[in-house]
Structure 1
Amino acid sequence: MAAKEAKARIKINKLLEESGWRFFDDLAGKANIVLEPKVKLTKDAVDALGDNFEQSSNGFIDFLLLDDAGFPLLVLEAKSEDKNPLVGKEQARKYAKSQNCRFVILSNGNLHYFWDLEQGNPHIITRFPSPDSIKGYHRFQPNPQRLITEPVSKDYIALTQMPGYATEAGWNNAGERDAFIQKNRLRFLRDYQKRAVQAIQDAVAEGHSRFLFEMATGTGKTLTAASVIKLFLRTGNARRVLFLVDRLELEDQANKAFVAYLKNDYTSVIYKERRDEWRKAEIVVTTVQSLLFNDKYRRLFSPTDFDLVISDEAHRSIGGNARAVFEYFVGYKLGLTATPRDYLKKFDASKPSTRDPREAERRLLLDTYRTFGCESGQPTFRYSLLDGVREGFLINPVVVDARTDITTQLLSDKGYAVANGGEGGEEGSEDSFFQKDFEKKFFSESTNRIFCQTVLNNGLRDPISHEFGKSIVFAVSQNHAAKLTQLLNELADVIWPDKYQSDFAVQVTSLIPDAQQYTINFTNNNLLGSANFLEAYKTSKARVCVTVGMMTTGYDCPDILNLALMRPVFSPSDFVQIKGRGTRKHGFLEQLFDKQLKAQIGRQEKSQFKFFDFFANCEYFEEKFDYDQVLKLPRLGTGEGNGEVGGTTIGPNGEYIHGGPDNIHQVREEAVGPQGMKIDRMFFEGFENVVKADPILQRQVDNEQWDQAIDYVTTHLLDKPAEYYTLDKLRRAAGVDRRLTLREILEKIFGLIPYFKGKDELLEDEFQKFLLDQPPEALSQHAEAVVAMKYFFKAYATDGHLRDILEKKRLTDLNVNPAFSMADFKAVPQEWRERIPEYVKDYVSLNQFM
């Protein structure tokens, strides 16, 4: 017992010190931790207590944390490792009230709860709040009743943008009102957006602190989120809001919207642009990936730094262990998603996720609803695509079912080789389906040419200039996107001679420099120029963006007239997002500056868009969809036997095999010389100096363009004759007991991480993410077994032999297994023996521990 008490004390002491609390006076300030009222913890007291830290001559010892003036601020109730921290809950409450403390931490060294006595139940935390954070939180006095009764009118946002708009002449003159609104960019809530905000008020009145909005793409989730943010900030129920997005390009888009809507009352910043000044802002926008990498969220923030956390595209940004970022913070949580719960009904829960990617998506969606307290599948508020179409805010697509003979064959169960997961499909992602194999086997130039010809021959034209309508094409991979872009430009030269100089189609993928700016320019109708057909009409000269995943989520370009899926889609959320790029309405006359021509043409509203589907994706997800148009495409061949078809071969099983040459890319032999045997610190420092001196790389890192930075280093700095830097040599030079990624190395060089974490520290971080991902009630039942669970988690993640034993159910082998024995296994509660391996397989990258 004494040993467990001592271990708990050591861990708690370390956690307190890591968060900035002081046991002793030092240069940072006076000690702010005492034991028992008015009993200061000294070095002599620590030595005298020894292992028996829970008892003293005066009774039970609590940690009392003080503010700068020496007044009690927080009570820390400590228990030994084999006790559930919650057993001391009532004792801690009594003690906290006697000290006039509002906050309590309950901890056994492994599992910790933060409890605001004025705000309901304890919340699991993985780091203790810092003194500055808890002092700020102490000044925070939320009043849910104010939030519940706050009037939310249609002009809720407009009143922040221009408080006196209703007294302006432009508003009061009916004939000038539309121009006045447009000039001042005033935003008014639609009825359903107002109902969404009011749904949160109703949920808070019922005692809820988690909310989920399910709103179709194009229905203004960001404007609605801005209204929610204003509601919480204005009523004093939040001091600061964290807005999480899952893509870099959405970061800037969301921040610009919040600035436009709320800047007169509140400050919004992107974290990476204001790293040293984010505390001055009420709204902080960042990507969940940047916080998750190397667990930066735990180093950058305290659990009490944000009182409202909003997850945009919640099914993505809290998927997997990214949920650890979301759950790290205490307070209110709001999720936004465009993926309807209807998809949950279509998949069988009994299907193994490793076989069917749709099952993984189903699990992800279900987890999203559970996370936000919507286990029944009913969100806090719902507004579907059909609702938007019925009320005149959105439009449905004209689906063009355009299957070739080959792609029809590929729709059989044996046709696709699929790996579980897959978001975005950017080349290099281990989570997407096997796209290199897919592309080599299934896409020859002849097939791609048919795809492109079909879109160009049948796509909608711009109603003003009659040129080809603005379009987005979704490719399998970045390599595939490059091929399609080239083909589209070649075909455009034939159809519209001298009109385009290879700028009809543009590749917009993560490895293309300035790709994010391309998406913005395409929306603003100045991508590679504008007014190519009609001088007085502003529309992008580039007519087609060919992408993989960059333009699927949250991209707003309302004048899109054609979408083309030149790849299969296995994720319902991806499918909904892609379709949503075209559902927004648009008035094309806004882009025409010739008044006489305007009068002649009259209103030109977007009433439809075409959705070209070459792989029956619509049928795959919407079995009863009424197709509006079916095209018969040119036949590639009979597809029988092993016949030659358009430069390709149809294999015996119907697979489409590329028939072109396949050359060896590179042959290189490396003799290990003296430089390979003397890797040391100087070698790493030499590489560090080279990297820091490169302005291109500096800019890429500053902008968090990690794909481009890694590609640049690989292409320009590694494997060069001068120093012959290689990734393996750099890893050895770093002296870490695990594998390092090139991104980690760059982050260390540019000071974004203080050091390389060792294997055990990384495992500790992964286990903390695991704890945050678990239902609090499940952990509470087995809090005393957390040490055994952690040992099992670490062993399973690092020991391939143990994984093999458990996978093959050879449990008797544990009796002679030195690293993890049968006794260790039995110490793990039954339900966690399956839950831990399942989590590790799904969310922990095992390569880093090799």
Structure 2
Amino acid sequence: MHKRELSERDICTKFITPAIVSAGWDLHSQIREELSFTKGRIIVRGKLHTRGKQKRADYVLYYKSNIPIAVIEAKENNLSVGAGMQQALDYAETLDVPFVFSSNGDAFLMHDRTGLADKVEQELSLESFPSPEELWGRYCKWKGVSTPEAKNTIEMPYYDDGTGRAPRYYQVNAVNRAIESVASGANRILLVMATGTGKTYTAFQIIWRLWKSGTKKRILFLADRNILVDQTKNNDFKPFGAAMTKISKRQIDKSYEIYLSLYQAVTGNDEEKNIYKQFSPDFFDLIVIDECHRGSAAEDSAWREILEYFSSATHIGLTATPKETKDVSSITYFGDPVYSYTLKQGIEDGFLAPYKVIRIDIDKDLQGWRPSSGQVDKRGQVIEDRIYNQRDMDRTLVLEKRTELVAKKITEFLEATDPYAKTIVFCDDIDHAERMRQALVNLNPDRVKENRKYVMRITGDEQEGKAELDNFINPEERYPVIATTSKLMTTGVDAQTCKLVVLDQHIKSMTEFKQMIGRGTRINEDYGKYWFTIMDFKKATELFADEAFDGPPIVIYKPGSGDPPTPPDEPGENGGAGFIGGGTGGHAGGEGFSLGPEGKRAKYYIGDVEVQVVAERVQYYGPEGKLITESLKDYTRKTVRKDYSTLDEFLKRWTSAERKAAVIKELKEHGVLLEALAQEVSKECDAFDLICHVVFDQPALTRRERADLVKKRNYFTKYGEQACKVLEALLEKYADTGIENIDDIKILTLDPFSKMGTASELVSAFGGKPGYIAALHELENQLYA
């Protein structure tokens, strides 16, 4: 066979792989072929979902098995040497790799991203592929790593537990960037990684490699919740074993090397402060601060006091949401992030769950409500005369029927989807969370009768509710199903199976909004959690349109840079947050509210004001990370036309495909949900007719109609009796179940074919396998004639 007739895989096997191995690369530890490094974006429409195409590199080359330094994209020989370069560059940017190659089996085109080469791109013969040592030397020069100690640090391998678990590509990027920064002498390092992307596991791998290399000998890991410290110690950090301890308020034991601490355990009153002062200021070489946005950045915070005491140590901050206000900036303290991995990237790669948003607008929120002259509330308070709107609901004005309406919409949604889907309802304060709990209990009497913990209020003031937090986040525990809360569950709650996040809280702090959304972003395939729904009653999801939602973290204000701009409102007291929404009435920032007893802001409770939904719409997470309101048909039409601009192009692809299942798979990878489309079109059509009808406005035939048309042509007569029976059965199978099921020759082992004879006997009725395949293709051509 001529070289130009070989497949891409044959080009790899016969030419590219031998050239790489000849250059000194180890086939087993340094060369990884056909490496899929993303999972494929999850695309949701209605109640169904599919996964998009994974990103897969033909080759990724590693130095010392843990540092990716080169990507190679292979192409067939009838294409040019550089035909794969643009695709390879895209992969190289994602994988943080400096050396990029394209090859068609004749030569290599090399692209150097370091900026240190005389020529950015140059062609190399197959015999001239660079060795591992050559590329590693250029890599170290690019990173500014020159000393033996620094090279020893970055060459230290990851922890391997023998199960095959390896860090995801972005975790590799984050770990390597952090370790290279340490090796280069940096002492303040920030990593920004979206909720659900495995920050603690990333921290473990950083600490493991620095510890094992001897670069850092005594390490402190700080977190701000006891449950996070315990989870870290018992799970991701478990391999540290006897070298690790958790700091308590007892006498400090200085014989350990890895210390974990709740920062409240070593700060507070003078006695507690003495705990960390029992360590000398230079005791720790490295301090890793988890969720460093939640206080460590503020100059007067307890965390900063610890960091300043151990100022000679290297400080690495991990956060999903950098704290950026006029007073506090984690970036100002740590410097710009050495690596960022956003929610948008996580969803695009298929590692995080996408969301659909149900926006529900209530009349009194939008139109406002005004009391009659001298009207009193249920407690006998005279209601201040003004117009109350969305800003006031559940903060200044409690309309009990509004609470019942929100609870009703939540209940209806769960009944229509999954009554046992884990649900978090974010309320304005503890009082609101309790009223919401009561409303949900009253609307779900049968569920509550099954188990009184079907609905639980989980807030900081009540021990029984807090005690159920572990059960709520445990996928194996059915109860509680619905948790009403205000602030307690915004952070540090790893709710892998949370499928519904309800926002009935005023939110204008971007940090807080990101944290709430983060409760739903984890995927758990074992429990069928691929995506989640956000039900928004207070316009909170308007923040998705804010560039700050998933843009690069920036410093809003640095001391000495002039007058600070007005920052987003930060959470208020009593569990309230900043305000969102407009309209007449209301007073931003809490100023101007009438005051009740003891100078507290008045809160009015009214039970007889009717409320109703005035608008409800569903929006989906779009390909660009924006919320889109789009019908399934519109989405399908737009998506398919990207690949097939005309009906002729689609017909050509369909008829030329050896197996129609391959075309159907391609459509699904592009997010075309054929099952949902069939439900919407309401006809028993196959994939071909659905696409032709929805995308190209052709009349749609059902599978039965197509099968009957073939029968009328009576073309089977040219085959023998046994072959005729097989083709007739295939036609019936198509009418019942679709084209992809008759595509596979294995169908001959199933009923009704197995009753006609063995598969080999049935194939022999067509003169052998080639004859059977030819007859099947003719049948398919007849179906789509």
TM-score range, shorter chain: 0.3 to 0.5
| Larger Rg over CA atoms | 2
- Name the structure where strand makes up a greater proportion of residues: 2
TM-score (norm 2): 0.45
